[in-house]
Amino acid sequence: MPEQRIDTEDGNAYTYDELATYYKGTYKKKDVEAYWETLKVKKGKGKSKGKGEPEPKAKAKAKAKPKAKAAAKERTPAGAFKVCVCGGSGGIGQPLAMQMAMDPNVKELCIFDLNVAMVPPAGVAADLNHLEKKATVKGYVMKVGENPIDHLEECLTGCHLVLVPAGVPRKPGMSRDDLFKTNADIAKGIVAACAKFCPDAILALIVNPVNSIVPAMAELYKKKGLDPKKIVGVTTLDCVRANKFVAEITGKNPTFINVPVIGGHAGATIMPLFSQDKTAATILAEKIPDLDKHVQEAGTEVVNAKDGKGSATLSMAYAGSRLGRSILAGLTGRRRVECAYVMSDVMEDFQYFTSKVAFGKDGVMKVLPIGELNDYEKKRLEEAKAQLKGEIQTGLDYAAKNEL
């Protein structure tokens, strides 16, 4: 039997040929070879695939082997999705909208923002409409103080994905929690409009504090009889940062580093699992606490460097579009795994938690378990849980007092 290695994307074991066939046409041969080098060799008899459950990707990989050419021809066609960026004229919104306009799965892109935004949404749309990409871009504006539900019928109807960076960012000295009241009300207005005009869309909430806003909005969705798993908290930037910082320390290519970051998106709740990435796992144990802190405090580092003029925007747009593209790829039937903060049962007593999530045809398909932790991570998990508990409660209390 040729050597098998564990694909970090789905935790299953494959031979090089199976992996190469599966990724043929998606990645260059040298990239697949480099990826293969990062994977752990499967030891012993190997693990069962999802405890007896069918594993679509594993089957696809195995089947693809003898049918490489046919499989390549049968590749899923690009999607024709409608996407909206709420707060699309803002610091994150503009570069995020640009990244989404460049995704071949996007046919229609809506930019929604207020009349007081730094650029009129129609201007952002006019600008993006000149990219030589298939997306048609349209701007929608609303006066401050008005209600999105009265203005967004055309904008939101037919949307598959709504990305929400609309809201106020931190200034130096503020915590993400300090933004809750203002941003929860902004999010509620937008989420209520989504509930009415695109209840099947996936709502990717970037607006802070993610740890409280996501439970608040998901519970409001549930109260309304809608699927709370359509509400997805965007924590991708924590993974992006962890990968970059590991690459800096090890001198390796960040493209092939994939550190899961679990828990939530604020301070100690940001919990990188360095032991679960082959490259990060080579870092000396004594360096891990500082590296861990660097990831936890990276947002504050940017807030301080911007000196009162906002928080992370460009790296957030990069990270948000990585998640957005994965969600759309999932909708076309290509399964994608990303960390995200969603309604979950992977952590006892926590209704909301960040872990790896498999995205597919219906959005969130499966919330994946957190996997094995080393002793340092087990201790950190207790710290993360202690903080997250209260932040989830803030969201639940808001949902109890409000309606969509």
Q: How far is the CB of 141 from ligand LMR (least distance, A)?
A: 25
Cβ(82)–Cβ(159) under 8 Å? yes
Phi, psi of 179 (to 5 degrees): -90, -5
Instruction: List the one residue from 312, 329, 337, 404 that touches ligand LMR (CB under 6 A).
Output: 312
- DSSP, collapsed to helix, strand or coil, labels residue 289 as helix
Q: Does 302 bind ligand LMR (CB under 6 A)?
A: yes
* Cα–Cα dist 179/156, whole Å: 26
Which phi and psi (to 5°) does residue 286 adopt?
Answer: -70, -15
Tokens of residue 46, six digits: 């190997």
Q: Helix, strand, coil % (nearest 5) of the chain? A: 45, 20, 35
**Out of 5, 57, 160, 176, the residue judged to bind ligand LMR by CB under 6 A:** 176
Q: Between residue 81 and residue 110, which ones bind ligand NAD under the rule CB under 6 A?
A: 86-87, 89-93
Task: Tell me whether residue 294 is one of the annotated catalytic residues.
Answer: no
Q: Which of residues 196-215 bind ligand LMR (CB under 6 A)?
A: 208
Task: Tell me the closest approach of the beta carbon of residue 380 to ligand NAD, in angstroms.
Answer: 19
237 near ligand LMR (CB under 6 A): yes
Between residues 155 and 273, which has the closer beta carbon with respect to ligand LMR?
273
Contact 208, 174 (CB under 8 A): no
Q: How many residues bind ligand NAD (CB under 6 A)?
A: 33
Indicate which of ligand NAD, ligand LMR, none lies near residue 363 (CB less than 5 to 8 Å, by partner kind): none
Number of chain positions touching ligand LMR (CB under 6 A): 11
Cα–Cα distance, 291 to 391 (Å, whole number)? 24
Residues between 332 and 391 with contacts to ligand NAD, criterion CB under 6 A: none
CB 82 within 8 A of CB 110: yes
CB hemisphere CA count around 93 (13 angstroms): 30
Q: Does 240 bind ligand NAD (CB under 6 A)?
A: no
**C-alpha angle with apex 158: 128 to 340, nearest 5 degrees?**
80
List contacts with ligand NAD (CB under 6 A): 86-87, 89-93, 112-114, 117, 165-170, 179, 183, 186, 189, 206-208, 210, 234, 237, 265, 310-313, 316
Instruction: Enumerate binding residues for ligand LMR (CB under 6 A).
Output: 169-170, 176, 208, 237, 299-300, 302-303, 311-312
